[in-house]
Structure 1
Amino acid sequence: MSGAPGETDLRKMLSSLDVERRPGSFTFVEVDEATAEQLAVAHAMIVEDESTTLVLDVAEARRLGLPVVVDMAWLSLTVQSSLEAVGLTAAFSVALGEQGISCNVLAGFRHDHLLVPSDRADDAIEALIGLR
């Protein structure tokens, strides 16, 4: 069995790093499993022992009567990093942390996705691009 596809060399990943901002605002909501199964509008779902967390558009969460506890921008790193790559998460965590920007990370099969406070999205993009 071969390893996960994508880049594993940190220098190559950082030198080709670019960031795309997904349109809209996003929030995390907590629901029970039955509710989660009914909501096909989620951009992401994380099943924990205590409950299920969904990432929804802020407008969709409000429409469903779910509390909006945070307003986040969704940034996608366009470099195709391997699921086995080492160091990329640490590099962008340090860059964002030095700017005082909180970050919630979701890893897709091909890209890493960062949810950062909407009002700090431009600062986050600048910090991430600075890693090149």
Structure 2
Amino acid sequence: MSGERDLGRLLSGLTPVLDADTYVFACVPAGTDTAHFSLLMQFTEEEGETLILTEETAKKEGLAYEFPCRRITLSVHSALDAAGLMAAVSAALAAKDIPVNPVAGYYHDHLFVPDARADEAMEILKSLTSSPC
């Protein structure tokens, strides 16, 4: 099942959803057994394993972490090869000095924004749906 590729339709159908949990980014050495961690995402990099997990889990596991953030899911089913969506979203948030760490899932894109600015980010994203492109 392929997703939407048209940028106008992607923007008009963003439907951002704010997750209630606070997430963080952590890094553990390559080869660390993370099977018992409750992870949202794990990505292998040369320097180690990047983890995205709840702040609560990171504290419970005694992990050093950074960037307390909230996840915003863009509910539109975007194609993995769609061009321009993340550029438009990132530019709109950057214009208000809100950093974003995006992650692409198979069906949706997910944005990690600073916890303290999540509500503001949501308003910006909602405004994109009413005035795409």
Shorter-chain TM band: over 0.9
Alignment partner, residue 31 of structure 1: 28
| Superposed structure 1 runs of 4+ greater than 4 Å apart | none
Aligned-residue identity in percent: 36
| Unaligned segments of structure 1, at least 5 residues | none
Cα distance in 2 for residues equivalent to 1:36 and 1:89: 32
- 1:74 and 1:114 in contact (8 A); partners too: yes
Match of 1:86 among 83, 86, 89: 83
- 1:36 and 1:52 in contact (8 A); partners too: no
Shift of 1:130: 1.0
Shift of 1:40: 4.0
What is the TM-score normalised by the length of structure 1? 0.93
Alignment partner, residue 106 of structure 1: 103
Shift of 1:35: 2.2
Residue 61, structure 1, aligned to residue 62, structure 2: no
Alignment partner, residue 120 of structure 2: 123
Aligned residue for 2:32, secondary structure, equals helix
Give the residue type in structure 2 aligned to 1:105. Answer: P
Shift of 1:22: 1.5
Alignment partner, residue 44 of structure 1: 41
Shift of 1:97: 0.2
What is the TM-score normalised by the length of structure 2? 0.92
Cα distance in 1 for residues equivalent to 2:123 and 2:25: 24
